[in-house]
Amino acid sequence: MRNFIILGFLITALLMSGGCERIFEEKPAAGEIPIVFTDLQPSPSGDCRYKVKVANDLWTLDFFSFFLTEPRIKIEGKWLPLKFIPSSWQTEDVARLEFHHACALQSNNTRVQLDANADLLARATVLRFTLGLPDNINRQAEWPAPFQTDDMFISDLFGHNFMRLALSNIADAETHHWEFGLASSLCEYTEGEEQKVVCKRPNRLTVDLPMAQNVIDLKLLGSLSQLLFRANLKEQPDCVLAHNSAQNCTKVLNNLLSRDWIRWDAPDKVYLSN
């Protein structure tokens, strides 16, 4: 009886200390991959907007969202296409991620949900996405409800931003705004009765994430600092690639291709294959 009393006391103390959340917190389902941008800081003024340090300046995150398509995994040297699980943020073919709401966290979407079971993921050695939209989706006038894309749309010619990032900074009594938009560029209509759009630079990027086998509890870490490495935000305020190819803008594009801006949460390289 004494042991039961002690056990009951310990459980009660643990629950009162907030341990209940840790005990009953559900693990992500198979195929559900959370994404956390680790350098987003809560605002000290409580204005419900994240802050991020870029080149020793503190910038406010006004908007950050991107599209992922064509999910696939590599098993025994062969690529297997997957689908997303449809939701208010995903169709079977497109997932939209969003990260800039600091207070209304339910307004963000910070996880990808793949239609894949645990056994399948445990055999995978690489997870691959396309950061971008295929042409047949990019210029759709209407998307299936409740999927909203108005704040990513550029024009009928260029379609949507594949990634859109907007920051602001107040320094020397002057407000600086900076925006990056990953989108197709050098687009034009073809001649003839049936006009089509041809873009010399589609700018759809491949994101490869190597993984070890038999690991299914996956989590991705993102870094805006890596994405904006050596980019001078005050020099070129408009970096929407659909109509701007300035060197400072292509620097961010190169960072998307070469910097470690998104990776597995693997301090001991648990997920990474050799």
Return the sign of the alpha-carbon dihedral for residues 206, 207, 210, 213: negative
Q: Tell me, what's the pLDDT at 19?
A: 43
What's residue 48's pLDDT?
Answer: 84
Per-residue pLDDT of the chain (274 residues; tens, 9 = 90+): 555 444 454 444 444 444 443 333 456 677 999 999 999 998 777 788 899 998 888 999 999 999 999 999 999 999 999 999 999 899 999 999 999 988 877 888 999 999 999 889 989 999 999 999 998 889 886 777 667 788 999 999 999 999 999 999 877 657 889 999 999 999 999 887 778 899 999 999 999 999 876 666 789 999 999 999 998 888 888 888 988 777 778 889 999 999 999 999 875 444 544 3
For position 273, what pLDDT does the model report? 43
User: Which residues have C-beta within 8 Å of that of residue 264, sequence separation ≥ 6?
Assistant: 209, 211, 218, 219, 220, 221, 270, 271, 272
Question: Considering only CA atoms, which of 120, 118, 115, 159 is closest in space to residue 136?
Answer: 159
Residue 81 corresponds to which tokens in the numbers above?
């296409």
Structural contact between residues 227 and 256, judged by C-beta atoms closer than 8 angstroms:
yes
Would you state the pLDDT for residue 6? 46
Phi (first) and psi of residue 188, to 5 degrees: -155, 155
pLDDT at 196: 87
CA distance 180 to 239: 4
pLDDT given at position 173: 57
pLDDT at 214: 64
